[in-house]
Amino acid sequence: DCRQYTNRSCEECLKNVTCLWCASSRRCMEYPVRRILPPADLCELRSARWGVCWVNFEALIIAMSVVGGTLLVMLGVCCCCCCCKKKSKKQVSRGTFLSTRPDKDDERAAREREKRRVRQEERRAEMKSRHDEIRRKYGTV
C-alpha cells in the first residue's frame, strides 16, 4: 500500500512503481492508472512525481512536447527533401536543376533552336549566291 509512505520521503514512496508522490502535500498514493495524468484534485502536475523524484509531470509534459514536435518537424523536412530529390536531378555543370526526363518546354526550345539554325544556314547560302552573282557581273571572280 502506497499510503504507508505518506509524510516520509519521495525516494521511499517511488521505490514502488505503482506509487505517486505529491510534493506539495507530502502524500504517497496509488497512481491513477485509468488516467494518463493524475487529476488536479488528487495532486497538481507541478507537484506530482512518478518514477523519479527530480522530474515533475509539468516538466515532463513540456519536454515530451518539445521532443515530439522537433521529431515531427524533422520527419516533415526529411520527407520534403526526399520528394524534391526524386523530382529533380542536380546538374553540376550549370548549377541548375533539370528534371530527369526532358519536359515540353525543353523540347520546344530545342526545336526552336534547330529551326533558327536551319534558317540561318539558308540565309548564308542565299547571301553567298548573291555575292557570287555580283562578282561574276562585275568580273571580280
pLDDT score of 99 more than 60 = no
- The predicted-structure confidence for 42-80, as pLDDT tens digits, reads as follows 889 899 998 889 988 888 889 999 999 999 999 999 988
Domain positions in the chain are 3-55
Closest CA to 46 of 4, 37, 68, 7: 37
pTM value?
0.50
C-alpha cell at 86: 526524386
**Strand arrangement, sheet containing 19-22:** 27-30, 19-22, 48-50, 52-56
pLDDT score of 92 more than 50 = no
